[in-house]
Amino acid sequence: MSSLSSRMDSQVFQAFSTYATIVILKMMLMSPLTSYFRLTRKVFANLEDTKLVSSKEDKKLVCIDPDVERVRRCHLNDLENIIPFVLVGLLYSLTGPELSVALLHFRLFAGCRIFHTIAYIGALPQPSRAGSWILGMLVTFSMAYRVLSAVLLL
């Protein structure tokens, strides 16, 4: 067996770094999107934030808006799916998979999550969003299976 550390120099690890950064950036972009909706709809979570827009009725601004909640749910779903992908993917990259197989996993996941965001924010009819969510999860499960079968030590 070749050493784990030598696998960090492989193209698989480079591909992982690229796709991991892309999906993390996608996830992080949900934060400014939430702020954008909060500022344009004038809906805030904290009383002190109402100073960011000029208005005379501050108290009214601390409330719930369906579009803001939609973006927040999408962001939380990203946290629940993208972070496990990156963590499992990191270990997966070190098990020395074929570059083509690894790229298939990474591309499928990145595509799923970008489509998931479009389907969530755009409120596309189901099961478009459920499908992309399940497919993305299956990619992570597939990588987790490979990690466990390669390095199992309980």
Name the site residues for its own copies (rule: CB under 8 A): 3-6, 8-9, 11, 13-15, 17-18, 20-22, 24-25, 27-28, 30-32, 35, 45-49, 51-52, 70, 73, 75-76, 79-81, 83-84, 86-88, 90-91, 94, 120, 123-127, 129-130, 133, 137, 140-141, 144, 147-148, 151-154
Q: CB 119 → its own copies: shortest distance, Å?
A: 9
Task: Choose between 57 and 153: whose C-beta lies nearer to its own copies.
Answer: 153
Amino acid at 95: T
Task: Choose between 88 and 112: whose C-beta lies nearer to its own copies.
Answer: 88
Q: CB 50 → its own copies: shortest distance, Å?
A: 9
In the three-class reduction of DSSP (H, G, I as helix; E, B as strand; rest coil), residue 101 is classed as: helix
Task: Choose between 28 and 101: whose C-beta lies nearer to its own copies.
Answer: 28
Task: Choose between 45 and 63: whose C-beta lies nearer to its own copies.
Answer: 45
What are the contacts of 32-35 at 24+ separation with CB within 8 A? Answer: 33/71, 33/121, 34/68, 34/71, 34/72, 34/75
Secondary structure string (H, E, C) spanning 19-42: HHHHHHHHHHCHHHHHHHHHHHHC
Cβ neighbours, 10 Å, residue 135: 16
**CB contact at 8 A, 64 and 43:** yes
Return the residue matching tokens 């972009």. 29
Q: CB 77 → its own copies: shortest distance, Å?
A: 8
Q: CB 100 → its own copies: shortest distance, Å?
A: 13
